[in-house]
Amino acid sequence: AQSVTQLGSHVSVSEGALVLLRCNYSSSVPPYLFWYVQYPNQGLQLLLKYTTGATLVKGINGFEAEFKKSETSFHLTKPSAHMSDAAEYFCAVHTTSGTYKYIFGTGTRLKVLA
């Protein structure tokens, strides 16, 4: 069975500082990994995804994430936080083994301090 763990339900960073949101997964088959962002009262928007190939993936708004199989991690980073990055971020795992279900982490709320 697949699962996703996001460490830290709340993360605060200063504007201009590095953003690091942690995600660890468990999967018995090669996973597809995703990061989604959710702004208040809105649906989720895809930030980036890893399926196969290059393990460092770049997404929208300057975010990137690196798939590390040995660490079963897919942490999200951004070199310099902007006020507009304040939102809820969800890591998700999905495999092609049968059901196409996506498993979401519990989310990390990012707060950006001026």
Q: Which is nearer to other proteins, 16 or 39 (CB)?
A: 39
Q: Which residues contact 90 (CB under 8 A, 6 or more apart)?
A: 6, 35, 36, 37, 38, 44, 104, 105, 107, 108
Closest distance to other proteins from the beta carbon of 44 (Å): 4
Closest distance to other proteins from the beta carbon of 81 (Å): 21
Q: Which is nearer to other proteins, 12 or 80 (CB)?
A: 12
CB neighbour class for 74 (10 Å; exposed up to 12, middle 13-18, buried from 19) = buried
Q: Which residue from 6, 45, 49 is spatially nearest to 25, judged by alpha carbons? A: 6
Closest distance to other proteins from the beta carbon of 16 (Å): 27
Q: What is the C-alpha R_g of the chain?
A: 14
Residues binding other proteins (CB under 8 A)? 32, 34, 36, 41-46, 49, 51, 90, 92, 94, 96, 99-102, 104-107
Closest distance to other proteins from the beta carbon of 72 (Å): 19
Q: Which is nearer to other proteins, 68 or 101 (CB)?
A: 101
